Amino acid sequence: MAAQPAAALSAPPPLSLASDPQWKIEPALLTGLDAAAHSLAKAAREEELGEVLELLRALGMPDDKRAKLQQACSAECEKAAAKPSSAAVADAVKRLRAAAKQLNVSLAAQPQDARAELAELVLRLDDSHADAHALVGHVRVGDEWLTPDEQLCRARRAEIHAALRDARKLAVPIQRSVSTLPALVEITGAPGTRLVWRNVTVHTCWSAEKAERALREAVRATAVSSFVHGGKLEPRPPGEPQTWLWFGTQANYEAYVDRALERKTLDAKLGPGVRAADGFHHMNAGVAVTGGMTEAKIAATLLVYFAPGVTGTWASLRAGHLNWLCKATLGIALPRLSWLDVKETPIGSAGRTRMESDVDRIEREEAYRVAEAGLVGCRTYMAYLARRGEDPPWRSTMIHEIGQIQGAELLKTTSVVEFVQELSLLGSLERAVVAAEDGDAETAYAKGVGEPIGRFETRWRAWVGGQRRGLVQRLSEPELRLDAFSAEALEYLTELRAPGLANVRPRIGFIGYDAELSAGALLHARYLALNPEQAKAWPDAHEEYSDRNGFTIAGAWAGGHSVIMPGAKSPRAAIDAWMATFYHRLPLTDPGLLRIGWGFEKGFAVLDAASLRAPWGEQWHVAWPYDGMTDVPTSFVPELPNPVPGADQREFGYPITLQLGRQKLEFEGMDVELRLFDGDAQVDAYLTTPTAPLNVELVPERASCLIPKQRLRAGRMYRVEARWLGASRTIEWTFRT
């Protein structure tokens, strides 16, 4: 690890002090921290060294003396990089613990209005001091000290998770008929499907079942939106009637745009932006138009247009809430919106002023990858930026066009809005901001949260990063080592994926182990061990009920993002079983899988393979069994739900799956064909695809499956033929049982 120049040592954001320090600090305390800084430098612990230097600044060490210390420590870091001293870490811990104790003892003699600030510094050094926790308002809950915000947020988070779970079961009555809308028939050459829900009308060339699913999920998401605004879990229609035109392919969408430009019903200046967007509101035609999108993207686009007022002072609030809603309910990000002259801030560019070592660069690149991986990825990335003082200011997102809020700014406002929702402030904040109309945004937001934006943002940073342990505790923690089962799960899944995904471009990286996801997976495994009857039903096995033993928020999240195997004897056996299914195989062979969480309790295996999964390019396919694979199992492992309702899964043969990228945005208009041959004889099999699913209750996007009706024969060479893109693409491959 290359050490940083003196001016570039990693450091946390400056400590927030109410005023110039008025307290008296004994010189011996500063001397002790000075010595601790040198010890950390000799151990090449740059991050912790940066924190000590910042604490010395806050405690009043003169700038010139601190600069000299920083320069000396930088040189020591560089020298120690090749061989850090473990003894120096122990020495630093001893000195930091002594400094924290000395500072804690001095609290009673400090001015009354300074004690809480000094107590914060004590906890930054060593969080074992109960009186310091009490001074800053922390409350002990079990083995933890919680801030008032954490207490509020935990309770509300549990309610929000329950609402997300219950929303998936809401009935949505939708009227269905044939569409003869001229604009649809002109482009596609045939009538389509017409759907009506309350004041929303949809015309599309999609099948009625497919279109209903997309509309239903959008409606259910509006119920979640209503709930986090402080209302009931009830669908919320748009304020005005809406008519939608969904095209199945990007080509048809562009043909519509071209026709609108020719007929001058669309301003020529808007043409490029409309083409680049996922859809647009064609005001002159009174219709909202979308192109070749997935069901989830269609649903997400509906959410954007259902939301009242996406321009004005409240645009940042709406952008953050809608992005959170899309990620939480649909698993995707807020769709691109048409906007001319967008000045996008790329993810990761905010606040970058330091030079970086190779280790920093690798850490940052990993953070970028994680950033797009759902809500957990958003939180992880924002915590990473906040820890380094590089997150964009919330005020920078307070612009008046939702389409201009992109990149790091969008992730920042998404994270802040999630915090606002957990504080139950979203409804009141939105009312305050809307009432301000086009007035000063920062003033309106401050009024809505009840304090200056900067102070509120400090609370958000504490929330997004969690309460970091004190320096003493972090430096004393043993190096993270995977337990044997977790190591086996990670190693075997990595080994299994490598040949099957070798041809995916861009080339996939290694999947990683995530301690936080694993903690949640273990909690859900323990919940199922306490409530084994839930594991026998779908979607019950993936849920946790707050009135049952073992319920936890982290476990509930893990359950909804994991594959689950009751009766597993080992990680390898569980993974082999999941790979012998349709639905449970897909997340394990997804190229975008970044990190996993693993939990195992009394035979219940829980693998979180969805929380940290990011989109992965457009032109790729993954076939399984892969070409040339040997020793392929012969039978299917029964799963819930049954991919072929009514059929006996115990008789099925090993499934063949084909997962596809977006394929130039044309996927939604294509059919997929899969055929299996044993020699020259075609094997009788069930085929389920996104356009023709056998089980309409669960339809994975961009994934098709061929399930032999009988077990495969052992020791045989099988051949697979796959065709898609309207039969313009055909591939063949073989495998041996």
Among the listed residues 511, 488, 493, 514, the one whose alpha carbon sits nearest the alpha carbon of residue 597? 514
Q: Helices H, strands E: what count in the chain?
A: 24, 20
**Strand pairing of 242-246 and 200-204?**
parallel
pLDDT tens-place string over residues 316-327? 899 999 999 998
Percent of the chain with pLDDT over 90: 53
Q: Taking the CB of residue 38, how many other CB atoms lie within 10 A of it? A: 19
Among the listed residues 559, 522, 521, the one whose alpha carbon sits nearest the alpha carbon of residue 164? 559
pLDDT tens-place string over residues 181-199? 999 999 999 999 999 999 9
Model confidence at 339, pLDDT cuts 50, 70, 90, reads: very low
Percent of the chain with pLDDT over 70: 87
pLDDT tens-place string over residues 261-313? 999 999 998 888 888 776 788 988 889 998 766 788 888 888 888 876 555 66
Among the listed residues 618, 623, 602, 613, the one whose alpha carbon sits nearest the alpha carbon of residue 667? 618
CA distance 105 to 553: 37
Whether 438 has a pLDDT exceeding 60, the answer reads yes
Kindly give, in sequence order, each residue whose CB lies less than 8 Å from that of residue 160, ignoring residues fewer than 6 positions away. Answer: 227, 228, 421, 422
pTM confidence score: 0.74
Question: Could you tell me the CA-to-CA distances from 731 to 114, 618, 720, 723, 724 in Å, in that order?
Answer: 72, 18, 8, 7, 9
Three-state secondary structure call for residue 696:
coil
pLDDT at residue 426, as a whole number: 94
Across 367-392, average pLDDT: 80
Across 683-712, average pLDDT: 92
User: Average per-residue pLDDT in the chain?
Assistant: 86
Model confidence at 414, pLDDT cuts 50, 70, 90, reads: very high
Model confidence at 511, pLDDT cuts 50, 70, 90, reads: confident
Q: Taking the CB of residue 679, how many other CB atoms lie within 10 A of it? A: 10
Helices 208-228, 295-306: crossing angle, 10 deg rounding: 50
Across 544-555, average pLDDT: 84
197 against 465, higher pLDDT:
197
Domains of the chain, with CATH numbers?
27-138 (no CATH), 156-308 (3.40.30), 358-464 (no CATH), 482-616 (3.40.33.10), 619-736 (2.60.40.3780)
In degrees, rounded to 5, the angle at the alpha carbon of residue 27 between the alpha carbons of residues 25 and 33 is: 90
Three-state secondary structure call for residue 671:
coil
pLDDT tens-place string over residues 562-580? 999 999 999 999 999 999 9
